[in-house]
Amino acid sequence: IQRKNRSSGLEPGTVVVTKQSVDATFLPKFEQVILGKTVVRSTDLDQSLAQELLQCSKGLNQFETVIGNTMCTLDFYEGQARLDGAFCSYTEAEKQEYLLKAKEAGVCNIEMESSVFAAMCKLSGLQAAVVCVTLLDRLKGDQLSSSHEVLNNYQLRPQILVGSYIKKQLKAKAGNR
């Protein structure tokens, strides 16, 4: 479970349940070098769990929740098409073009951890989900403008959703005894 990210085209505070973690070329894969050889692993997540989380969010009726792809990058600045880092080798127009391509590829948010998490859970046979919250719309800028209080509220949303899902599962298991 993850809880921070930047979005492409969603309102800040929207919770994103990840369908697939995609790389910076929008492919659902995690590449790992093992013994000098590149190993490619799938980053598909459990779709039934994603749907259950979406339904749980609808039951809460507290915040917008969507299912979409999460783009996992290797760094926070250029890898995420930011203009505010120490280095920037592209223009605002190139950034916008890239982020629009990401949106067309189903990317709803950007972060740096989901691909390895998804790949390792899939490899281990574990049912898994990635749940994030959007902090800003990257099509509109790179900097946070929300207050500390609002950001704190946003960061609690994935925890509220996952906590509610866990409680629901525990009640179901207790009812089956």
Does residue 113 have a pLDDT over 70? yes
- The total domain count for the chain is 1
1 found inside a domain: no
How confident is the model over 39-61, as pLDDT tens digits? 999 999 999 999 999 999 999 99
28 found inside a domain: yes
Give the range of the structural domain holding residue 110, as residue numbers without chain letter: 6-176
CA-nearest of 2, 7, 18 to 146 is 7
How confident is the model over 56-95, as pLDDT tens digits? 999 999 999 999 999 999 999 898 899 998 999 999 999 9
**Among all chains, which residue has been given the structure tokens 């505010």?**
84
Residues 158 and 131: beta-carbon distance below 8 Å? yes
Does residue 24 have a pLDDT over 60? yes
d(CA 76, CA 102): 16
> If 0-12 CB within 10 Å is exposed, 13-18 middle and 19+ buried, where does residue 36 land?
exposed
Q: Is 7 helix (H, G, I), strand (E, B) or coil?
A: strand
Write down the pTM of the prediction.
Answer: 0.90
pLDDT at 122: 95
How confident is the model over 125-141, as pLDDT tens digits? 999 999 999 998 888 88
- Read off the CATH number of the domain in which 120 is found: 3.40.50.1580
**Among all chains, which residue has been given the structure tokens 């809460």?**
60
d(CA 167, CA 53): 12
